[in-house]
Structure 1
Amino acid sequence: MQFEVWAPLTGHVAMRLDDATYDMAPDPNRDGWWLAEAPASDGSRYGFLLDDDPVPRPDPRGRRLPDGPDGLSAVVDFEALGAPGASESPPGRAAPRVPLQDAVLYELHVGTFTAEGTFDAAAARLGHLTALGVTHVELMPVCSFPGRHGWGYDGVAPWSVHEPYGGPAGLARFTAAAHAAGLGVVLDVVHNHLGPSGNHLPAFGPYFTDAHHTPWGAAVNLDAPGSDEVRAYLLGSALAWFRDYGIDGLRLDAVHALADGRALTFLEELAAAVDGLAAESGRPLFLIAESDRCDPRTTLPRAEGGTGLHAQWNDDFHHALHCALTGESQAYYGDFARAPLAALAKTMTRAFFHDGTWSSFRGRHHGRPVDRRRTPAHRFLGYAQTHDQVGNRALGDRLSASLSPGLQACAAAVTLTGPFVPMLFMGEEWGAGTAWQYFTDHPDPELAEAVRTGRRREFAAHGWKAEEIPDPQDPATRDRSCLDWTEPGRGPHARLLAWYRTLVALRRTHPDLRDPDLAAVRVAHDEERRWLTFRRGDVRVAVNLSPEPVTIALGRNGVRVLAAWEPVEHPGADGRVHVPGESAVVLGP
């Protein structure tokens, strides 16, 4: 078996494989690369000895880290795993061919979706998702990170799979099970930084550069000397998820934090490679960006001067909806809270609220207008809750902690019948009573204390007492964040779950709800009486956020009630509909 590693900063590299040591030779065809041939099989442990360092380091491209980020790598035989490849899949494992325009995504954290916190335990719950009607599961990051429990954004080995979740074999089984159930799989990947502990890349080469600085320190090297190999490293890791595991899409974390001054950006290069792989495999592969820029060029095709990514999260839609539901106005919610229904109406018709407008949170103008002639609605994801918007709150409280079931039903109606590709956060569909808090498991005591202190200091500035902030390192914080699977079958949870299922089904059966034309969306609202209506083709949706009933003129008769949270009579001849307090109704032909 051939082993290779890029280590341009070293004068000598050896490989420790099981109980033997092998000198590696420079690759005559590639500068900085080292090669060795050695007998190995699935599970063989290996690492690299750099110059005089007596401790072997894991392979930067290692696919498995059985003992965590500071342990040796292990060889993975993907043929033995039966993992699907790029152009064909084993029988019964073919991915569903659902285009992004028709998708409904479900964001899931493997470590808290079940108490067991494994791929296999999550796979055992896929029947719940198929009954809900979603099309894709979006997994939060699964790359290796120190400790057992964490969000996954402190990953340090972009080619690997976190061993406590089940490692590569567990991910392969999960993807196969999802595909067999008719679900696609989207994976959240982090290219903008690595975690603060267990990161061995700087010992191998210039993976980071001081030419740019990010909130996490030195930037990933995308444009300085040596960046060709760094870009190839990240590009290869991204394509490996598609090729080796049959993943159907990637969510790219915080692309605005990728410092890249080259004419051909890494994101363009990645988008071109994924489009090529999609054409080769005949599968609808896609890339979804998280971006803070409010820039429609992120998802414009490359031929039109864009980056070529296929969709992006739309936090402006979330912020407007959140303010309309809760009345909160702190931090970045401030601009949306002044007239939240107007803000929501703007995002539903023009995608971004900040499209060149003043952002008081940033202290500057922000964003760029969306050209609705060139940008279809499915370039954006819409959501009422995400891991960020729940977990980064002081107590990790969901909307269900402060909103009535009726208002949660309103949030679902706007999200699932609105113009954007809907995404749900795990447990949202039944109004989970469990929080989802920030938790870590850093083995380094100094880092653990720094995270704990930093979290408390951050929220103390907003008036919270230190003792009120959950300790991220306390195992109970993670345990509190696990879903309670007894909830969906009882109390108000079951009713809300049935409502979500109804709305998802309506989106699937009514093409008007998947119409990509943003310019065709019509929205009316009354800020004082707290109601909003919108039209998607022949489908009309009315949402009443007030506790008092309202009568709304839809401007058309001859429609019928397709779904209603509370009982609603069919509109009269004058086209008026009477909507109970904190309720929503969907009407159509």
Structure 2
Amino acid sequence: MSENRWKLGLGAELLDNDKAYFKVWAPKAGKVALRLFSPGSERSIDLAAGEDGYFTTEVEKVSAGDSYLYLLDGHTERPDPVSRFQPQGVHGPSMIVDPRQFPWQDQGWQGIPLEAYVIYELHVGVFSDDGTFTAAIPHLDYLKDLGVTAVEIMPVAQFPGNRNWGYDGVYPFAPQSSYGGPEGLRELVDACHGKGLAVILDVVYNHFGPEGNYLNDYGYYFTDRYRTPWGDAINFDGPHSDQVREYFIANALYWIHEYHFDALRLDAIDRIYDLGATHFLRALADEVHRHGQQLGRRIYLIAESDLNDVRLINPPETGGYGVDAQWNDNFHHALHALLTGEKEGYYQDFGRFDHLVKAFTEGYVYSGEYSRYRKKRHGNSAKNCPTVQFVAFSQNHDQVGNRLHGDRLAAKLPLQKLLLAAGTVLLSPYLPLLFMGEEYGEKAPFNYFVSYGDSFLIEAVRKGRKEEFAAFAWAEEALDPQDPDTFMQSKLDLKVRQGGEHAALFACYKKLLSLRREVPALGCVERREMTVIPFEEKQVLALTRRVGNSSALCAWNYSDTPQDVAVELDNGKWQKLFDSAATQWGGAGEMAYSTLTATEGRVRIALTPWSFTVYLREE
């Protein structure tokens, strides 16, 4: 399939000879008219009613940049649910966009293998001073030099105002106007591909934001049979759900075809409810992968899930949905609780050393065990799932931003523990994800921020945040999400990486990512090629990994005392590649030997408190 021939089939589609085709699903309306605004003129055109609640028309003398609204039943004016651009915000008219005019320079780009993904999650608004798509482009060389291979962009679907995490989007096809709209987003994706970087877009298919959400005026997008924390769930399995499913599958294909995204991150799929014979996620994965094959590009779906259910990532032939990978919150929780000692909220289920051991050996920590936080048994076993199906991290937007003060690990942990967190994630057998700024220990918080225009919603958000924090027994007042200063405090300052402990941490991240890239055994994401060796009493975890002639040993000490352990290894000399206790990383000094010689299949390793070492076997 040629990308130039692909048609969205919904919304406003420019045709040849200055014509445009309009199609909208509006089964709740008896009639629909198009109000079209061109420079110096305004027209009203009735749409023809078709099957299944769709209305269509073809109009002459239409150009990119013209704007329009739909008039429902002669009295209700609304923007297009499939609007490609909302330059005047969520309440304004939709603008016609011609995706054919962008001068793409990424011809021949086929993406990168999933196992090569090193993901950097960023929020467009706070990543740069200007907070736009194009303002992020000058920083791509920085990410490339760091060792990142995939840039993950938090949601960009048009949301109310200029400040938002993006999960309040109400126009899934319209890139946020304050970020630079469609043109700016295409420029960013094209620039990433020019640097050899894959690009992931975070999409939200479980709810819509409250302000500017006019979908109920059109059709049966929502159901009251299920509830989400954000209101009515999306109608994926009830009456009229075929058209709703088509809407969201079209959205996924739209980002792949018209914006050349390499992967989509699916937000909170545990809030996507579908009891039909073919789950929406299965249908979505089938279509995305089919189009990827037709385009000759590697296209992936990566889900966020709280279910610990391998059906999500199992292949369709075994009854799974065929999603390529998922975020592994269990890995994060196990590591975070071990390093911080926190036991509030969901962290009450974690904190033991064996939790992290299980995260390394199986992926899920809870695979049917009783969860005190949930007050029930939770999860199933992922021990047979390939490690490439899991994304590991020590921080992300949720785990930082949903804290009372939006505090990062760098705000509370000493350098040695930050290094240990980095080593745990980057040397794990999973796909690593970095949250913007963690690589140099950014101290600025990542606060929760909004810019609603509705005073009722503003108060509702303030109240909701307080209720969320109750589970963590955080009694202090959180910053006001509506206050512009709450947003400004979250801006990154990439320059701080150049001095002090920031520079040491940043150099460590670069070194570890280079080792992962250059040493085959450290970049391998095959479970069968690794052995996890726990030392429970000493809180030491050793991991051996082997790819062909490349054999590596990683050892982490998660205790506050020096440790010495005996590890079974292949005979030969093992050269130390990295030691986080070295003074060049800000450590107190190395205890681990520079060379290990295994003559009887065993060596002893010395580790300073809260440190890790890496060895490579010499052939």
Tell me which interval the TM-score lies in, with the shorter structure as reference length: over 0.9
Q: Which residue of the partner structure matches residue 605 of structure 2?
A: 577
Task: Determine which of 278, 282, 288 is the counterpart of 1:268.
Answer: 282
Residues 108-117 or 241-250, more deviating? 108-117
Deviation, 1:569, is 2.6
Q: Which residue of the partner structure matches residue 585 of structure 2?
A: none
Q: Which residue of the partner structure matches residue 42 of structure 2?
A: 20
Which amino acid in structure 2 is aligned with residue 545 of structure 1?
Y
Q: Which residue of the partner structure matches residue 33 of structure 1?
A: 55
Deviation, 1:30, is 5.4
Contact conserved, 1:5 with 1:35, CA < 8 A, in 2? no
Q: Which residue of the partner structure matches residue 517 of structure 1?
A: 526
Q: Which residue of the partner structure matches residue 309 of structure 2?
A: 295
Task: Determine which of 70, 94, 97 is the counterpart of 2:91.
Answer: 70
Q: Which residue of the partner structure matches residue 545 of structure 1?
A: 558
Q: Which residue of the partner structure matches residue 115 of structure 1?
A: 129
Pairwise mapping of residues 356-435 of structure 1 onto structure 2 (< 5 A)?
356-372=368-384, 375-435=385-445
Please state which structure has a larger fraction of its residues in strand.
2
Task: Determine which of 576, 584, 590 is the counterpart of 1:561.
Answer: 576
Contact conserved, 1:222 with 1:266, CA < 8 A, in 2? yes
Where in structure 1 are there 5+ consecutive unaligned residues?
83-89
- Note the alpha carbon deviations across 1:412-452, whole angstroms, 9 max, x for none: 11111111111110101111111111111111111112212
Higher relative CO (Cα under 8 Å, sequence separation at least 6) belongs to: 1
For 1:492 and 1:542, how far apart are their aligned partners in 2? 23
Residues 519-528 or 139-148, more deviating? 519-528
For 1:94 and 1:479, how far apart are their aligned partners in 2? 39
Q: Which residue of the partner structure matches residue 3 of structure 1?
A: 22
Report SS of the residue matched to 1:223: coil
Deviation, 1:265, is 1.2
Deviation, 1:544, is 2.0
Task: Determine which of 139, 164, 173 is the counterpart of 1:125.
Answer: 139
Report SS of the residue matched to 1:137: strand
For 1:131 and 1:192, how far apart are their aligned partners in 2? 35
Residues 32-41 or 304-313, more deviating? 32-41
Report SS of the residue matched to 1:501: helix
For 1:113 and 1:552, how far apart are their aligned partners in 2? 43
Which amino acid in structure 2 is aligned with residue 588 of structure 1?
L
Task: Determine which of 342, 345, 354 is the counterpart of 1:331.
Answer: 345
Q: Which residue of the partner structure matches residue 365 of structure 2?
A: 353
Contact conserved, 1:94 with 1:180, CA < 8 A, in 2? no
For 1:108 and 1:474, how far apart are their aligned partners in 2? 21
- Note the alpha carbon deviations across 1:106-130, whole angstroms, 9 max, x for none: 1111111112111111111111100
Identity %: 42
Q: Which residue of the partner structure matches residue 354 of structure 2?
A: 342
Q: Which residue of the partner structure matches residue 74 of structure 2?
A: 52
Which amino acid in structure 2 is aligned with residue 579 of structure 1?
L
TM-score, normalised to structure 1's length?
A: 0.95
Deviation, 1:566, is 2.2
For 1:527 and 1:477, how far apart are their aligned partners in 2? 43
Go from structure 1 to structure 2 and tell me whether the alpha carbon gap of 1:129 and 1:539 turns closer, same or farther (over 3 Å shift): same
Report SS of the residue matched to 1:355: coil
Deviation, 1:411, is 0.9
Go from structure 1 to structure 2 and tell me whether the alpha carbon gap of 1:92 and 1:367 turns closer, same or farther (over 3 Å shift): closer
Contact conserved, 1:94 with 1:179, CA < 8 A, in 2? no
Which amino acid in structure 2 is aligned with residue 566 of structure 1?
A
- Note the alpha carbon deviations across 1:369-423, whole angstroms, 9 max, x for none: 1251xx2110111111110000001111111111111111111111111111111
Contact conserved, 1:349 with 1:519, CA < 8 A, in 2? no
Which amino acid in structure 2 is aligned with residue 447 of structure 1?
L
Where in structure 2 are there 5+ consecutive unaligned residues?
1-19, 583-591
For 1:414 and 1:127, how far apart are their aligned partners in 2? 25
Go from structure 1 to structure 2 and tell me whether the alpha carbon gap of 1:209 and 1:460 turns closer, same or farther (over 3 Å shift): closer
Deviation, 1:455, is 1.7
Q: Which residue of the partner structure matches residue 249 of structure 2?
A: 235
For 1:100 and 1:256, how far apart are their aligned partners in 2? 23
Which amino acid in structure 1 is aligned with residue 54 of structure 2?
G
Q: Which residue of the partner structure matches residue 487 of structure 2?
A: 478
Deviation, 1:520, is 4.0
Go from structure 1 to structure 2 and tell me whether the alpha carbon gap of 1:23 and 1:216 turns closer, same or farther (over 3 Å shift): same
Which amino acid in structure 2 is aligned with residue 24 of structure 1?
D
Residues 68-77 or 204-213, more deviating? 204-213
For 1:311 and 1:465, how far apart are their aligned partners in 2? 37
Task: Determine which of 205, 218, 225 is the counterpart of 1:211.
Answer: 225
Contact conserved, 1:7 with 1:34, CA < 8 A, in 2? no
Report SS of the residue matched to 2:155: coil
For 1:508 and 1:458, how far apart are their aligned partners in 2? 40
Mapped pair 1:222 → 2:236: yes
Contact conserved, 2:574 with 2:597, CA < 8 A, in 1? no
For 2:283 and 2:474, how far apart are their aligned partners in 1? 44
- Note the alpha carbon deviations across 1:339-386, whole angstroms, 9 max, x for none: 2x21101111111111011111111111011251xx211011111111
For 2:244 and 2:473, how far apart are their aligned partners in 1? 43
Which amino acid in structure 2 is aligned with residue 534 of structure 1?
L
For 1:461 and 1:251, how far apart are their aligned partners in 2? 27
Q: Which residue of the partner structure matches residue 86 of structure 1?
A: none
For 2:388 and 2:124, how far apart are their aligned partners in 1? 26
Deviation, 1:27, is 4.4
Deviation, 1:528, is 4.6
- Note the alpha carbon deviations across 1:201-240, whole angstroms, 9 max, x for none: 1101111112222222221111111111111011101110
Mapped pair 1:139 → 2:158: no
For 1:94 and 1:481, how far apart are their aligned partners in 2? 37
For 1:258 and 1:392, how far apart are their aligned partners in 2? 21
Go from structure 1 to structure 2 and tell me whether the alpha carbon gap of 1:506 and 1:585 turns closer, same or farther (over 3 Å shift): same
Contact conserved, 2:452 with 2:458, CA < 8 A, in 1? yes
Count of equivalent residues: 576
For 1:401 and 1:452, how far apart are their aligned partners in 2? 24
TM-score, normalised to structure 2's length?
A: 0.90
- Note the alpha carbon deviations across 1:60-112, whole angstroms, 9 max, x for none: 11100001111100011112223xxxxxxx44454363111121111111111
Contact conserved, 1:95 with 1:246, CA < 8 A, in 2? no
Deviation, 1:550, is 2.1
